[in-house]
């Protein structure tokens, strides 16, 4: 049987909504792995595997496509978008050779690389996680020291400088966020953007959007009004 929602219960619901909407305390950024690791209870590492070259690929690399292309490792999808730039998407191994017989990479690990082919777009890599997290980290770098912007699916964004270390990635991006996110978009005006060595915090349930709480509260209020109206009805005498 429905009952009327009293003012105390409705007030408590409003407080719940207010508390949820203010739960987004913000983004905490860490400049090195040690400090990020100290703030994160546990995480899952995801290393970029060695490339599996196809017959037409450059030695030591794997080509995924131009413009819009993607690859998935351990449930995490990495993709580039033609709407952002007309770039090649590669897995570059430590023994990558631009000229056969001459290794070009000075990095010790494979990297995913977005390489722009014209000046009209930006290098871009979108990381899509299997489930939302509140902690995330990776290594990144560019060729010519352009800034890299990181945009999370929860709306938080930040821009970090790069060292221009080619495939030997020296930049570190590590965050802990009060609001879960499941995608991270990297963009840069640099023609070459690289990443590797991901670290994923424990998966969490996403926090409902404020609009969802409003709908729930309106539903509770409607139930209360319906119960109050039903309680006032008196059965007709026979």
Which domain CATH number covers 70? Answer: 2.60.120
pTM here is 0.77
Please report the pLDDT score of residue 5 as a whole number.
Answer: 38
d(CA 165, CA 122): 18
Task: Answer for the pair 196, 186: CB distance below 8 angstroms, yes or no.
Answer: no
pLDDT band with cut points at 50, 70 and 90 for residue 85: very high
Same domain, 189 and 227: no
Length of the chain: 238
d(CA 50, CA 54): 13
d(CA 8, CA 10): 5
pLDDT band with cut points at 50, 70 and 90 for residue 223: low
Is the confidence at residue 23, as pLDDT, over 50? no
pLDDT mean across residues, the chain: 82
Out of 16-20, 38-42, 48-52, 146-150, which region has the weakest mean confidence (pLDDT)? 16-20
Please report the pLDDT score of residue 231 as a whole number.
Answer: 47
Same domain, 177 and 218: no
Same domain, 16 and 108: no
Same domain, 119 and 136: yes
Same domain, 119 and 147: yes
Same domain, 125 and 215: no
Same domain, 236 and 193: no
pLDDT in tens, 139-169: 999 999 999 999 999 999 999 999 999 999 9
Q: How many domains does the chain have?
A: 2
Same domain, 174 and 227: no
Please report the pLDDT score of residue 213 as a whole number.
Answer: 42
Please report the pLDDT score of residue 6 as a whole number.
Answer: 44
Same domain, 154 and 221: no
Q: Which residues contact 88 (CB under 8 A, 6 or more apart)?
A: 63, 65, 66, 114, 115, 117
Which stretch of DSSP H or E encloses residue 181?
Answer: strand 171-188
Burial category of 164 from C-beta neighbours within 10 Å (exposed 0-12, middle 13-18, buried 19 and up): middle
Is the confidence at residue 206, as pLDDT, over 70? no
Q: Which residues contact 123 (CB under 8 A, 6 or more apart)?
A: 85, 87, 114, 115, 116, 142, 187, 188, 189, 190, 191, 192, 193
CA distances 207 to 15, 22, 199, 212, 238, Å, are 16, 11, 22, 10, 53
CA-wise closest residue to 75 among 151, 141, 133, 142: 133
Is the confidence at residue 210, as pLDDT, over 60? no
Same domain, 46 and 158: yes
Same domain, 17 and 48: no
Question: If DSSP codes are grouped into helix, strand and coil, which group holds residue 151?
Answer: strand
Average pLDDT on 85-112 reads: 87
Q: Which domain covers residue 77, as residue numbers?
A: 26-206
Q: Which residues contact 5 (CB under 8 A, 6 or more apart)?
A: 220, 221, 223, 224, 225, 227
Same domain, 88 and 18: no
CA distances 41 to 135, 145, 178, 201, 218, Å, are 10, 32, 15, 8, 38
CA distances 231 to 3, 28, 130, 181, 220, Å, are 8, 51, 48, 45, 17
């Amino acid at each position: 049987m429905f009952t009327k929602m009293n003012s105390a219960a409705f007030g408590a619901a409003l407080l719940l909504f207010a508390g949820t909407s203010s739960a987004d305390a913000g983004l905490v950024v860490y400049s090195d792995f040690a400090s990020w690791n100290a703030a994160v209870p546990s995480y899952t590492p995801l290393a970029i595997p060695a490339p599996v070259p196809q017959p037409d690929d450059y030695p030591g690399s794997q080509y995924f496509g131009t413009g819009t292309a993607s690859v998935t490792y351990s449930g995490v999808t990495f993709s580039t978008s033609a709407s952002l730039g007309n770039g090649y998407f590669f897995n570059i191994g430590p023994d990558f050779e631009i000229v056969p017989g001459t290794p070009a990479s000075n990095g010790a690990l494979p990297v995913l690389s977005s390489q722009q082919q014209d000046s009209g777009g930006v290098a871009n890599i979108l990381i899509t996680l299997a489930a939302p997290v509140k902690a995330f980290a990776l290594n990144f770098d560019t060729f010519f020291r352009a800034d890299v912007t990181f945009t999370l699916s929860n709306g938080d964004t930040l821009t970090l400088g790069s060292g221009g270390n080619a495939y030997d990635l020296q930049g570190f991006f590590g965050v802990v966020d009060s609001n879960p996110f499941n995608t991270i978009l990297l963009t840069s005006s640099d023609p070459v953007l690289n990443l590797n060595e991901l670290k994923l915090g424990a998966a969490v349930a996403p926090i409902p959007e404020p609009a969802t709480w409003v709908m729930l509260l309106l539903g509770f209020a409607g139930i209360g009004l319906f119960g109050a109206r039903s309680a006032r009805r008196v059965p007709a005498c026979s």
